Structure formats: structure tokens, C-alpha cells
Amino acid sequence: MLSLVDNSNANHDIRAEHHGLYKLSLTRNADIAVASKPVFGASITFHTDLLTHDSFIVKPDNLLGWVDMGGLVYFNICSGQHPLGMGKVKGDTTTTLPSQFITVENGMLRFTTALRIYLLAKTPRDIQEHGLCYFTPA
């Protein structure tokens, strides 16, 4: 059986959407460690499982790591940057509060919503220099 499709009301107006690309970086005074449990003396300990894959989706119940009493003060989130550093994606580059995407409860670090993660670095030195990742809401 054939069906007829009415194309008279088709929408040909295609627009690019800005999906909100963010970069998660750390302050210079943050001492970073990578381990499967909290490291004494480190400001931030990222869980080893977090750094296993280059690109993945995290959910709010996934443990990202641990922080000391400083909490979210070590984190910076910038929006509107192109992943290759080729200028601005859309509008001005703005700073976003870390609490919009990251939560700390009893020293455990988690994201507040499901996010697609694109890692920039996997070693503490590289994380300090280049930032941890780019991310976008999943």
C-alpha cells in the first residue's frame, strides 16, 4: 500500500543550535591526585575510572572523585569556547558557577546532571595546565 506525504507544509528553516559547550579547569593552587580512594594532602583526587575513556556520559550518581575542605573553590567553568581554541563559539566567553554543574557532599565530587564528557588530560600535571575536560549537557 502506498501512502502520500504532504510536503506543502515542510519547514525548510534550518538553524544551528548552540548546545552549551563548557570547559572544566582548575585553579593554580589545587593539588591534584588520581587514585581509587581519597589521597591525604591532595586538594582534589580524581577517581581513576573517570580518566579511563576519552569521551563518555556521566550521571549524577557517578563518583568523580573527592575534594578537601575547599570544596568547589578549586574549579573554574567557562562557556562559549571553541574546543580547538579558535575563538568564541557564540557571544562572549562567560564564567559559570561550578555549583551549576558540580556538587560536593561529604567530600565526594559528583556532577548535578547527566553530561557528555570530552577529556583534555589524564595526568595531574596536564590537568593543571590544560584543564580536565570539555562537557555539554547530555
SS (H, E, C) the chain: CCCCCCCCCCCCCCCCCCCCCEEEEECCCCCEEEECCCCCCCCEEEEHHHHCCCEEEECCCCCCEEECCCHHHHEEEEECECCCCCCECCCCCEEECHHHCEEEECCEEEECCCEEEEECCCCHHHHHHHCCEEEEEC
Total of domains in the chain: 1
User: Could you tell me if residue 1 is inside a domain?
Assistant: no
pLDDT at 17 over 70: no
pLDDT at 5 over 70: no
User: Could you tell me if residue 28 is inside a domain?
Assistant: yes
The predicted model gives 60-86 an average pLDDT of: 84
CA 130 to chain centre: 13
pLDDT band at 12 (very low <50, low <70, confident <90, very high): low
pLDDT tens sequence across 28-49:
999 999 999 999 999 999 999 9
User: Could you tell me if residue 11 is inside a domain?
Assistant: no
- pTM here is 0.76
Q: Which residue has the higher pLDDT, 52 or 9?
A: 52
User: Could you tell me if residue 12 is inside a domain?
Assistant: no
User: Could you tell me if residue 7 is inside a domain?
Assistant: no
The predicted model gives 90-101 an average pLDDT of: 73
Domain that holds residue 129: 22-137
User: Could you tell me if residue 6 is inside a domain?
Assistant: no
pLDDT at 23 over 90: yes
pLDDT band at 138 (very low <50, low <70, confident <90, very high): confident
Note whether 42 and 33 are within 8 A (CB).
Answer: yes
DSSP at 27: -
